[in-house]
Every structure is written in C-alpha cells, then in structure tokens.
Amino acid sequence: MENSVTPAEERILEAAKKVFHCKGYDGARMQEIADEAGVNKSLVHYYYRSKDNLFEAVFEAAFSKIMGRLNEIFFSELDITTKIETFVGYYVTFLSQNSYLPLFILNGLYEKPGQIKKMMEKNHLSPDRLMEQIRVQVKNELNLDIDPMHIYINILSLSVFPVIAKPLIQVIFGLSNDRLEKFYEERKTEVPEFILKALKGYEDNQNR
C-alpha cells in the first residue's frame, strides 16, 4: 500500500500485525499479509519461514508492548493512589486506541499457553516480585492486610474488560460512537475513584 522506503522485512511485520490482530491466527492469510505489505508472498516466507514463526513474532511484539508498560508503572516510585490513577488512565487510553490488542493477546494465550514463561522473563516479569510490590505498598500506605492478588485483578478487570467488550457494551446500552468515546473518557476518573473508595472501605472496617 504505502510506498515508503521501509525495508521489506519491517513492512511485512507491520502488515502481519495488522492482519493477525484483526483476524486472528486462523483467519489470517499469508497472501493478504503479502498484499498488505506490497510484496510477493514468497518474500514473507523468505524472512519468516512459516506462518507460525510470523505469528509468534507478532504475538511477542504485542505482548511486550502491553506488559512492558504495565510493569513500568507498577514498579515505579509513585504512591499507590497515583499509581492506580496513572495505570488506569494509561491503559484505558492505550487500549481504546488499540482495541484489537487485548482480545488478540487473550486468544493467543488460550492457543499457546506454553511458551509464555520465556516471554515473562524477557519482559523481566516475575509473579512473586509483582505480588510483593503490591502487598507492601497496600500495607504501608493504606495500612491494609488484604490479598494483593484480588486487588490487582480488580484493577486489571476494570481497565481492560470495558475495552474488550466494546461491541457488547455498544449493543447492550445502545451507544453511539461519540457517546462510547465519552464513556471511556469518563472511566479514566471513574475507575480510580471506584477502586480507591473500595479500598477506603476496607480501611474503615479494619481500623474500627
């Protein structure tokens, strides 16, 4: 399509992202990827030997893109309140601009639950470190002894699901595109508020 001077290999990867993200592994066609990159189909096989290889490259890029930033925020020096606000704000924005990414990743994880650990390591993601990080911060700043896992999943759920469920929400509530965008904009403040109010609730209970 574009006649930029980008080397072929990179154009192929970009084309592959576009196609795989939208149509998934089974729905994607090597021919379509080649066309999208403005390149002969054989060249795709020249750089990436097989469809599997190409898909893996695309998947890894997507996974890193999403998890890298997540990591960055959660291990930053911010206090827990700002951290939650930053996290939600960033993800609601980023995901609603790349609304195909999260579902693509989830589907990929279902198909290949095997090779993920090496991707975790590549992104310097350790389950234990993450859990400990959250636990300590919740304990020190909020003085709460609650399971960090549920909190973390709750934050993730409230940020990610509404983006994944875009078409469902649009249908259930009958929203126009404009109204939907406004809805996501609202969530950037609504979600942190909701979470912090809940956490405050635990605090009150505990210190009674």
Q: Which residues bind its own copies (CB under 8 A)?
A: 23-27, 103, 105-107, 109-110, 113, 116-117, 120, 125, 127-128, 130-131, 147, 149-150, 153-154, 156-158, 160-162, 164-165, 167-174, 183, 186-187, 190-191, 194-202, 205
Angle of helix 8-27 versus helix 30-37 axis, rounded to 10: 150
Nearer to its own copies, 86 or 170 (CB): 170
Smallest distance, DNA to C-beta of residue 105, A:
20
DSSP-derived letter for residue 28 is -
100: number of Cβ within 10 Å = 19
Of its own copies, DNA, none, which one sits near residue 118, judging by CB under 5 to 8 A according to partner kind? none
Query: Which residues would be at the binding site for DNA (CB under 7 A)?
Result: 7-9, 28-31, 39-43, 45-46, 49-52
Contacts of 183 (CB under 8 A, 6+ apart): 162, 169, 175
Please check whether residue 92 is in contact with residue 163, taking contact to mean a CB–CB distance below 8 angstroms: yes
Contacts of 33 (CB under 8 A, 6+ apart): 12, 15, 16, 19, 44, 54
Nearer to its own copies, 37 or 160 (CB): 160
Of its own copies, DNA, none, which one sits near residue 106, judging by CB under 5 to 8 A according to partner kind? its own copies
Smallest distance, its own copies to C-beta of residue 116, A:
5
Closest by CA position to 123, among listed 69, 74, 86: 69
